[in-house]
Amino acid sequence: MIYATEDTFDDLIQHPIVVVDFFADWCGPCHMLTPTLNRLAKSMNDVRFIQVDTEIYTMLSESTDVKSLPTLCLYHNGVEVDRILGYVSDYEFSTRINALKEKNHV
């Protein structure tokens, strides 16, 4: 898992498939999602997984229009193509990522 800052975010999302987890330490559902993210990051080597702490990088959260937590944003070559609000199961999350990979032949 890569931790993004306001200085590194734009460069980090320039990859074929990127998942960005916007989280906060106080967010219970964010903590519930962490094991799923870690499992998928280990099994999907062709996907870049990034985390953004919304309490520290508030300007980044605002510029990406994150209004609730957790928010998962899926990017394809730097462009947001999907957004998931709240906690999701391993199955639903991996299905959304795989659909994006198939659509873009990654």
Average pLDDT across each block of 10 residues of the chain; the chain has 106 residues. List them in order: 96 97 97 94 95 97 96 96 94 93 76
Q: What is the pLDDT of residue 103?
A: 86
Distance, CA of 12 to CA of 18 (rounded, Å): 8
Per-residue burial over 46-76, b if 16 or more Cβ lie within 10 Å, else e, is ebbbbbbbbeebeebbeebebeebbbbbbbb
Structural domain of 44: 2-101
Total count of domains within the chain: 1
- C-alpha distances out from residue 92 to 9, 42, 99, Å: 25, 17, 11
> Residue 29 belongs to a domain with what CATH number?
3.40.30.10
Q: What is the pLDDT of residue 106?
A: 56
In a domain, 106, yes or no: no
Return the active site residues: 27, 30
Q: What is the pLDDT of residue 105?
A: 64
